[in-house]
Amino acid sequence: MEALMAVAVGALVACGVYLLLRARTYPVILGIMLLGYGVNLFLVGMGRVGAGAAPILTEGTSDYVDPLPHALVLTAIVIGFGMAAFIVVLALRTRIATDTDHVDGEEVL
Amino acid sequence: MTLFLTVLLPFLAVLPPLLVRRHGDQRSRLAGLCAIPTAAALALVVAAARDVFAGAVPQASVAWIPSLGLHATLRMDGYAWVFACLVLGIGLLILLYARYYLSAREDLPRFFSAIMLFMGSMLGLVLAGNIILLVVFWELTSLSSFLLIGYWRHDEDARAGARMALIVTGVGGLALLGGVLLLGAIAGSHELSAVLAAAGSVQQHPLYVPMLVLVLLGAFTKSAQFPFHFWLPRAMAAPTPVSAYLHSATMVKAGVFLLGRLHPVLSGTPEWFYIVSITGMATLLLGAYRAMFAHDLKGLLAFSTVSHLGLITLLFGFSSPLGAVAAVFHIMNHATFKASLFMAAGIIDHETGTRDMRILNGLWRHMPYTTALAVLAAAAMAGVPLLNGFLSKEMFFAESLFIAEMRGLRPIEPVLAVVAGIFSVAYSLRFIRIFFRGSGTGMPRAPQEPPRFMRIPVEVLVLVVVLVGILPGLVIGPSLAIGARAVLGGDLPYYHLTMWHGLNLPLLMSVIALAGGTLLFLVRRKLYAVYGRVHPPVTIEAGYQGVARAASAGAAWLTGTLDNGSLQRYVLLLVGMALLAGAVPVIGRFSAGALPRTPVDAVTVAGTLMLVTAAVATAALHRHRLVALIAISAVGVIVSAGFVRLAAPDLALTQLLVEIVTILLVLLALDYLPRRSPPDTRAASRVRDIGIAAAAGAGVAALAWGVLTRPADSISRYFIEQSKPAGGGTNIVNVILVDFRGFDTLGEIAVLGIAALGVVLLLSGVDLTASRQHGEVARDRAPLFLTMITRALLPFALLFALFLLLRGHNLPGGGFIAGLMAAVALILHYVASGTHWTESRLRLRYRPLIAIGLLTALATGLGALAFGHPFLSATFTYVDLPGFGEIELATALVFDVGVFLTVVGAVMLMLSRLGEPVPESPADAAFPTEAAAWKP
Amino acid sequence: MSGHLTILPVLLPFATGVLLLLVPGRSLRLQRAIGLAGVLLLLGVAAALLAVSTQGGPRVYHLGGWPAPFGIVLVLDRLSALMLALTAAIALFSLLQAVQGQDRSGPLYHPLFQLQLVGLNGAFLTGDLFNLFVFFEILLIASYCLLVYGSTAPRLRAGVHYVVLNLAGSSLFLIAVGTLYGMTGTLNMADMARKVAAVPAADVPLLHAAALLLLMVFALKAAVAPLYFWLPSAYAAASAPVAALFAIMTKVGVYAIVRVYTLVFGAAADPALGGLATRWLLPISLITILLGMLGAVGVRELRRMQGYLLIGSIGIMLAPIALFSAGGISAGLYYLVHSTIVMAAMFLLSDLIAKQRGGKDDLLVQGPAVTQAGALGLLFFVGAIAVAGLPPFSGFVGKALILSAVRPTGWMPWIWSLVLVSGLLAIAALSRAGIRIFWDVDADDAPVAVRWRLLELGPTVALLALVLGITVLAGPITLFLDAAAEQLLVPGEYVRAVLGGAP
């Protein structure tokens, strides 16, 4: 399980970084999103992935998973969404202003 | 305190000149304005003479930065007194001279303001009683001289000369700062009096040599010593009053002043002797030699100045008592005759319109009086008896013999001294020649005697030159004594100030110098020819220029190459650094933890595989935009499924809803991004990127693996225990969000809100319709039935959102999820019915909604303050609500409502602005022109 | 109320910002009035907190009344009080400049400005690592908006770079924080300090990695080599008041470095962790000095040059700080204060000058006579002296303090030569710029008709006056900073204040 988790996180981060290194805004945006997924998964993992009930108090359950990372990730997801929305619009606005979708705002060959 | 007043006085006249009204001939007004404080300061200094001559050392101090050992301490011993007199006395004469030299059409306020700034700085420098304070004034003289040299800003040479002087002396100043900080640290105090007393400990200290080198760098650059001499001739682009003041009498003397100032503590070591005296000797000879061949009148004087400064440096280098006396004596003498020579040169330039010695001729016919003065001064420069220059030069010869004897440097050292003497006689004769050769014609202007008052400064100085020459003991003796005593920091050696010491070796050397000089002068033509050939093609100055140019070009190249404006490179650097930071500590030391591994089930394996596949697909197919978008939404869905697997229902819900909204957003945006872009990077760099990316992924994976396999012990037990009793909710995550860590949540909705505002900001004043890439795709109406269904469903969807909100505290749900739910419902509605229909039905203005949401959350937090609890303290009670069963009304719930409203507002604001080309409300429209904005 | 004073620097701009959102965008005058009032109040609060911080140890504010380490805490010590005061001051003058017209080139300037302050102040106050992340995000998203404000092509271009790099940085931040939580099981910095001090040897490498990743995040914010490339374009493109405000932005990174690597990974931690900041930060900051100053010599536009000078100054302040000695930190902090104020002034001034050079704008080439060469030239001269670290202004004091602070260490030769060389390069760059702009006048090029009213020069003059102020008052200021440094180097006091007496 731990291994799978590590693999999943690693794959997401790797693909995210690769896209982050592209020269066009759209792939970069995708990269940021993938990176976000990876990081969130990573964060959840920091509460360990061992067995444990969902952090909703119920009678007769004593073993819950660590709820704190969930809260952190929820925060991270929402912040990430805000950031993603901003850069999406920034990208299209830049495209309108500079007439290119190159991340440097000009066609470099 | 009078000391502070003395130093302050010149500064008082820095600003006024800039404020006097600029019309008519301001020259007298300005000169007068500056002369008053100067005279006053001079009076104060002279008044202090009694104490100083009596051996007292007036001192005043105010603490400035104790931790640095920097106090505003002023101190006037004999040496400082002598210099103060030179600075102010000659300064006064210069003001009078400048009044007549400068034309009324020039930007005079700037000149007088700068000259007073310099005068004050120079005065502060000589009176400083704290070596750091000395550096402060030291650099101020460099800065003010920069303004003065560049005074004629339209002149390229002036600009270049000013900058060169600033950089060379500036570097020296920096070195000096380092030097004095070391010196102070070694001596245990930066107070001059303490430093001067610390000779023993300083010279024993291991850091003595580096410190000495730094200090000497300062002194040598300032006093134009070889190999830093080249800036001084360049500085001749300054108006002559400036040259006469800064570059003969005062600023360039700062370097040698420092040598004398620190003589008691630094001199006497072999390092000092060799570095200082060799530099001095080299400068003495080089200056004399170059002066021999200068054709510009001021150029000749400049190189002569270099030479004489070298002489003074050499004398200090001897680090013998008589050497010091001679040095101080020559400082005074040189100041007087060189200042007068510069003024004379200025008059000649003024009257004839040229400074070229090949053109100037027969001046005595037109200006006999000036001629007489100039010739006397020049004779002093040559070291002719009956004039002050002769006396100090005699001392120099005598001392050089003595030192040569002592150090076994005979005969080289005396011979070199004589050679220098010969050259100085020769160039002095060249100077004198312009007055007498030829008929006095063929010059740009027909010269005549200058205005009466312009000559007075010269007369005064030449008078001093002669009086000192004839009656040295009477005129200069006492001042020299106190000056030298301060430099020696003890008793004076025996010396006899008189013009006639009887027939002795020094006299013989003088005679040789005079005779040889005359001879050299007579055969100069041949020398010129030789000079033309042997003169080194690469001068030090050319070297400096080359280095400067190369450095500037190199900097430009380096900067351009590093900062090439490519985001890809910057990201690469960031990732690279992160890899480095992550790898270095772990490599070779990595160890997995001992936590028993959790068993794996097939579903999870399959899910992980799908996740990886989808991620890779996104990366691989990113150029097929829609495909990539589908792939990434698959990733999102699987991740939320993963959250379920990891027992995080809230996360799963949030992730899913965010997914929907994000994808929708990107879909809308895709309308404005080109469908296809050229393949961005070369295959090679793609391979490299894959490598980097793989490494990054592996790194994070390893990190995760390392942590995941270690037993955990976190603060969360507290949350699990306290959630119900203290937080009043069973959904621990939600309780953490709205209560335990509500501050985070407040911040995060702020981020969301600002992001929405950012979208408004970016899209304000843009006509999106015009920028669409492909037609009206997104404007097509949805099929009717969908419209119908969504319209019907909307109320229920919103109700469900409300339900999620209310139950959030105990079961999966809460502000975010509810907010996103509502948003999604509304969006569907937009898609189905079009923005206009929707907005006209439900009058939602989203920007205020955000504000209200944030305000609600904020107010909830502030409520606690009213009850004296810290911000965001929550409380709750239970009520029975039909339909929902027992729910509790917690302030946390109100807070969550705030979250809900903000989320709805933010999400809708973004999407509606993007979906709907016209600005949401006039309030958000940009102010197209200044005119459109409010009128004051 | 005094009990709640600590949280006001966050709440005040927050409330002001939200309030401004409800004010219709058209009534700019009202917005300006509210905005300025808010900043003035903030300045008062900051001053009060500065006074409070000198009384005894750190003051802790338990949000929601939850005990540390479970709830989030705000901690006010001398350092945070200093940063708050500095921020408020810079904000005031930046805003005073902005209300002269630059806030018109789009909507929402004033709310965004206030929310920017929320992020900054929160970052300076919080004692919780994840909360620090949240406030970083607030100040970042706000700075994105302010940077692209007006949506001109250069701003958008610079914006894309700035945003993408910082988003990557944020991911890195989360990974680091996550790892630290995974290893220590806490987010509260004081608590983390304890846990780190007691960590088993086997866990050191992972913690070490996390600590370094965090360092990289802060280094990116602080614009340290090789992560500074976003800065010159961004600051050159931003409107002058925004650039001036951004002068404080990089200092958040510096602050975070000082805070985290004195508290969490301080002397108490495992030696491998304790010294890591020095090992990495010192070489990096020295390189930053060199590259920054060379950049200043190399570029051909005034605004970009200021950006590089700023980068260089970051290196200069970090080098002594990286020694984590009382003297070093104190000297570095003095330079931080100096550099922030003077660079803010220079960004405002560069714009005032450029706008009087017509088409030549801020290009360092021969151009028309600057319309108000007298006044602007004088201001530039003063500012340049301060930036280059020449007497008699604070730059000189700062460098002198740094030089004498690092003297006893083995790093002395390096730091000394680079600090001194930086002075030389700065002189070269600034003298060239000054000469090109004010002396090398093209008589044929007709001067521009733009003339500044005294009011428009006000903020610049005030900032330079402030430079003079911190020079004259350097004595008391250094005393305060020494105390601040001492406080930082005895984290035990901080930890006890947050977690209570238990050892």
As for the ipTM of the complex, it is 0.96
Q: Assess whether the previous peptide bond of B922 is cis (omega < 30° from 0).
A: no
The per-residue pLDDT for B884 is: 62
C241 touches chain B (CB under 8 A): no
Spatial neighbors of C137 by CB under 8 A, at least 6 apart, are A79, A83, B747, B748, B751, C119, C170
Distance CA B574, CA C137 (A): 18
Distance CA B303, CA B291 (A): 5
Record: contact A56-B810, CB cut-off 8 A: yes
User: Using a CB-CB distance cutoff of 8 angstroms, which residues of chain C are in contact with residue A76?
Assistant: 174
The per-residue pLDDT for B672 is: 83
* Chain A, nearest residue to B637 by Cα: A37
What is the phi/psi pair of residue B574, to 5°? Answer: -60, -50
**Smallest Cβ distance to C24: which of B137, B923, B926?**
B923
Provide DSSP, B333-373.
HHHHHHHHHHHHHHHHHHHHS--BTTT---HHHH-HHHHHH
Record: contact C404-B715, CB cut-off 8 A: no
User: B378-389: b or e for each residue (b if 16 or more CB lie within 10 Å)?
Assistant: bbbbbbbbebbb
Record: contact A56-B666, CB cut-off 8 A: no
What is the phi/psi pair of residue C59, to 5°? Answer: -100, 130
Distance CA C192, CA C498 (A): 11
HSE toward the beta carbon, residue B648, CA cutoff 13 A: 30
- Residuewise pLDDT in 10s, chain A (109 residues): 889 999 999 999 999 999 999 999 999 999 999 999 999 999 999 988 877 778 888 887 878 889 999 999 999 999 999 999 999 999 999 998 988 888 888 776 5
Residue appearing with tokens 């907005």: B839
| Beta strand ranges found along B271-407 (DSSP E) | none
> What 3-state DSSP class applies to B191?
strand
To the nearest 10°, the Cα dihedral for B335, B337, B340, B345? -110
Structure tokens at C59: 């003051």
The per-residue pLDDT for B936 is: 30
**Residue C154 scores a pLDDT above 70:** yes
Sign of the C-alpha dihedral computed for residues B125, B129, B135 and B136 taken in this order = negative
The per-residue pLDDT for B777 is: 43
A45 touches chain B (CB under 8 A): yes
Please state the rounded mean pLDDT for residues C355-374: 90
Please state the rounded mean pLDDT for residues C2-17: 92
Record: contact C115-B755, CB cut-off 8 A: no
Distance CA B262, CA B218 (A): 12
The per-residue pLDDT for A109 is: 54
Give kind and range of the element (H or E) at residue C60: strand C59-62
What is the pTM (predicted TM-score) of this model? Answer: 0.94
* Chain B, nearest residue to C228 by Cα: B570
- B112 to chain C nearest CA, in Å? 15
* Contact map slice: B 771-810 vs A, CB within 8 A: 771, 810
> What 3-state DSSP class applies to B537?
coil
C431 touches chain B (CB under 8 A): yes
Between B730 and C107, name the one with better pLDDT.
Answer: B730
Residue appearing with tokens 């505002």: B757
Nearest to C487 by CA among C79, C114, C34, C166: C79
Please state the rounded mean pLDDT for residues C355-363: 90
Record: contact B708-A91, CB cut-off 8 A: no
- A39 to chain C nearest CA, in Å? 6
Residue C400: band (very low, low, confident or very high) from pLDDT cuts 50, 70, 90: very high
Q: Which residues of chain B are under the pLDDT cut of 50?
A: 775-780, 917-936
B643 touches chain A (CB under 8 A): yes
Please state the rounded mean pLDDT for residues C87-96: 97
The per-residue pLDDT for B835 is: 62
B634 touches chain A (CB under 8 A): no
Give kind and range of the element (H or E) at residue B713: none
Distance CA C435, CA C50 (A): 41
To the nearest 10°, the Cα dihedral for C150, C152, C154, C160? 70
**Smallest Cβ distance to A28: which of C164, C178, C181?**
C164
A51 touches chain B (CB under 8 A): yes
Percentage of chain C surpassing pLDDT 70? 99
